[in-house]
A and B are shown apart, each in its own frame.
Chain A
């Protein structure tokens, strides 16, 4: 008996010394949502990882093509680009587009119009100037054209028949789902991977979603780093299973006109970039909601945003104000190391 115990203790010691943790595998790809996506998963079987990775790339690629407003694809002829190009004619769309537009309508109502996917025409004006600035002297969109485009935004411009997956745009309205598309795609993909038993973490260009508990740890660590002109303020946070993080910042996509920074996050109330803060990150259990709320919070004063966040259950936010100080929502300390 004593002999067996001695052998058992020895084996346990030996195993702990050689530290056998479940191995992790990672993959990086560049083809979806104009960003770099990193996927890490824990498994003993490399073939399982390959299966999950293929599932992830297939899903994200499908959503990318469905939600793309700049290109058409042979395998997804009725994508959002086709909807925008239909010239007011009703278009039958993939049910995944219907689901996204339903979510967009809910978020429009919930955020008082801050999250507005009908801003396509206005965002195109900014997009064109941003692209143009790479080669030519930077300029702002024409003020008259910009204010005319303001009149074309809002849900009055969409007629959505969810039952029959049919969408019709009215009065020159065009869609841009940049504020919610990536988060929505990430959430749907993450749920599919969770059902397949995947344990891991997805980072789709700053939109993070965890799948299960991290093996050998009580939490996943996410480092939020803002790459500003002269400094890179950084904050580590600890999150659990099935948790999402999304960030909106003025340094992400911007261009400069006469020394002034113009970010890609346009306030639907004014037609110009919001300047209330440098960045905001949202933590909650849904990657689509996190994405939508980070956009909404960026477009309102920080104090208003803090009150909005504190009125919701299960949502926390971390702000970086214009003086580069961190501001935390009431329950955010639960995520701090």
Chain B
């Protein structure tokens, strides 16, 4: 009678490792962001995040002033701000992963993140 190349214990070990990998993969997949999210940072620190596909109008506290973020129809823009240059409020609405609006005076950045492939750098 030919001997089996793998013992029962080996098969169990292999099954165990594969099961662990599948569980790990599924958790990562489940925890990965679904759809796009708008992340707000002040001075490089995240202060809030909002789903891009839920309408909202919210006042953000930047450094030394405020910016009102409006999310509607799957896009985000700064409706108004009390910064000196108002460049953030002139910026067109953003919706693509990696897009961002910066308010330099308030050190505030609004960025779209999501499950899609984001570029390594966005220049504008």
Residues on A close to B: CB < 8 A?
2-3, 6-7, 10-11, 13-15, 17-19, 27-30, 34-36, 38, 40, 134, 201, 203, 206-208, 210, 214, 220-227, 232, 234, 236, 245, 247, 249, 281
Contact = CB atoms under 8 A, between A and B. Distances in A.
A17 B25 contact: yes
A221 B121 CA distance: 7
Given A17-B24, A28-B109, A134-B85, A236 B10 contact: no
A17 B34 CA distance: 20
B30 interface: no
Contacts of B92: 227, 232
Given A19-B28, A28-B44, A225-B99, A208 B123 contact: yes
Contacts of A227: 91-92, 124
B49 interface: no
Nearest to A221: B119
Given A3-B10, A14-B17, A36-B102, A245 B123 contact: yes
> Chain B interface: which size bin?
35 or more
A24 B111 CA distance: 18
A14 B21 contact: yes
Given A11-B17, A225-B99, A2 B121 contact: no
A7 B21 CA distance: 14
Given A2-B5, A3-B10, A236 B119 contact: yes
Contact of A223 (B17, B84, B122): B122
Contact of B6 (A2, A18, A36, A210): A2
Given A7-B14, A18-B28, A225 B122 contact: yes
Interface of B: 5-7, 10, 13-14, 17-18, 20-22, 24-25, 28, 41, 43-44, 84-86, 91-92, 96, 98-99, 102, 104, 107, 109, 117, 119-124
Contact of A220 (B17, B84, B120): B120
Nearest to B22: A17
B44 A29 contact: yes
Interface centre among B17, B91, B122 (most CB of A within 10 A): B122
Given A13-B18, A223-B119, A223-B121, 13 more contacts: A6-B10, A15-B21, A18-B24, A18-B25, A29-B44, A30-B43, A30-B107, A201-B120, A222-B122, A223-B122, A225-B99, A226-B124, A227-B124
Contact of A7 (B13, B22, B98): B13
A153 B28 CA distance: 60
Contact of A222 (B43, B117, B120): B120
Contacts of A28: 41, 44, 109
Contacts of A10: 14, 17-18
